[in-house]
Copies of this chain bind each other. A is one copy, B any other.
Amino acid sequence: MSEISAKLKEAGLKITLPRVKILEILESNQGQHASAEDIYKMLMERGEEIGVATIYRVLTQCEQAGLVTRLQFEGDRSVFEIRVDDHHDHIVCVRCGHVEEFNDEVIEKRQQEVASEAGFTIEDHSMVLYGLCENCQNTPEV
């Protein structure tokens, strides 16, 4: 049984073709953050038959099962990534859209402290830095 099937099973989700295909896409796409539409297009290009509704349903289920993370870089649409053990946050280039991942102990620790000072217990956080990537800094505006 493939690793993906194993993950699905462990999560208590039936091993169906659409689920496997979507997770395969996300796996092969690691670090690139695909939107539902991206996934749809990629599957169509591969000649797969799938409806958008299924993609959203599968992504939502997998998110709840902890297999997938939903992110929101631009306000208008969600992007998804396969969930891996190590937590990370993101830096997005505002010009070309390139995304880098990072993880910083100092920040993570301070977040806990800041929250507890405010009387909160933290369950989660989202942090996105926006700026210009190395490439775009050295490229003139369009």
B120, A91: Cβ atoms closer than 8 Å: yes
Are B119's CB and A133's CB within 8 A? yes
Q: Shortest beta-carbon distance, A91 to chain B, in Å?
A: 5
Which A residues from 105 to 142 make CB contacts under 8 A with B?
Answer: 106-107, 110-111, 114-115, 117-134, 137
**A37 → chain B, closest Cβ, in Å?**
16
Contact (A121, B110) CB under 8 Å given A72-B72, A75-B72, A115-B91: no
Q: How far is the CB of A59 from chain B (nearest CB, A)?
A: 13
Near B by CB (< 8 A), chain A positions 27-73 give 70, 72
- A20 contacts chain B at the CB level, 8 A cutoff: no
